[in-house]
Amino acid sequence: SERMKRIFFDRSKDLTEEQKAAMRFEYCDVTVENEVRNLFSKTGPIDGVLHSIGFANPKTCLGDNMYTPAYEDIKQAFHISCASLATVSHFALEKMKKGGSIVTLSFESQVAFPYYNWMGVNKAALEALVRALAREYGREHVRVNAISAGPLATKAAKSIPHFAHLARTWKKISPLPWDVVNDKKEVANSVVFMLGKYSKKITGQTIYVDGGATNVGGVLLPHEKPLMRTPAKKAAKKKTTTKKKKA
């Protein structure tokens, strides 16, 4: 659809012309089965698929109150953010004759966050779907997993009310430093790992790449907060200082 095209091009603005020239761009509306079928009919064998899709009307599905009478919006959010994984996986499977990996992106669904509302529900459903698909596709040597990342400053995040507050809260509870901008690379590296050959025995899992925040109860105490520099760099600086004193 034109809406999806605009979203896609929006997100590719940081690509150089050389990078764009090396890629093949195809578009489809994941809520229309024939479009998904046609998309995969144009490809050759596939080793891996990244399902990075999510949408919920911020006016009805996000915000102060969980309740909304806009049931069509709720169904649309579920279809795009969760059920589409089953559709995409179904048609991708036909191209994975030698096995492969399907990875989707989630966000901490075991607890409730303010304002996230129906997207939180959809992420919980998405992780349940990952487990079901992993069980079904295992016989085909296709593994299915989710990456649950910490908050990242993406275009989608701009639709989440008070996202900046969530990002600040994350820094108070994450044992490892968490950067909503620069840690996009760390999440991407984890996706590459899950798509690659070194994760061949991992399936049906939700892998947390969030600085450890999901395993911490309450905010970090002052003595627990991440150092501004790594211990290794700190030690190296001390060593250099000692040498100068001897001189």
Q: Which residues are the active-site residues?
A: 116, 123
Residues 6+ apart with CB under 8 A from 204: 130, 131, 134, 135, 143, 144, 145
Task: Outline where 1-65 has alpha helix (H).
Answer: 2-11, 17-21, 33-41
104 touches 51 (CB < 8 A): yes
| Residue located via tokens 């501004």 | 228
Q: Which of helix, strand or coil describes residue 60?
A: coil
The H helix count followed by the E strand count for the chain is 9, 4
8 touches 27 (CB < 8 A): yes
How far is residue 61's CA from residue 67's CA, in Å, rounded to a whole number?
Answer: 8
Residue 103: strand pairing partners: 50, 145
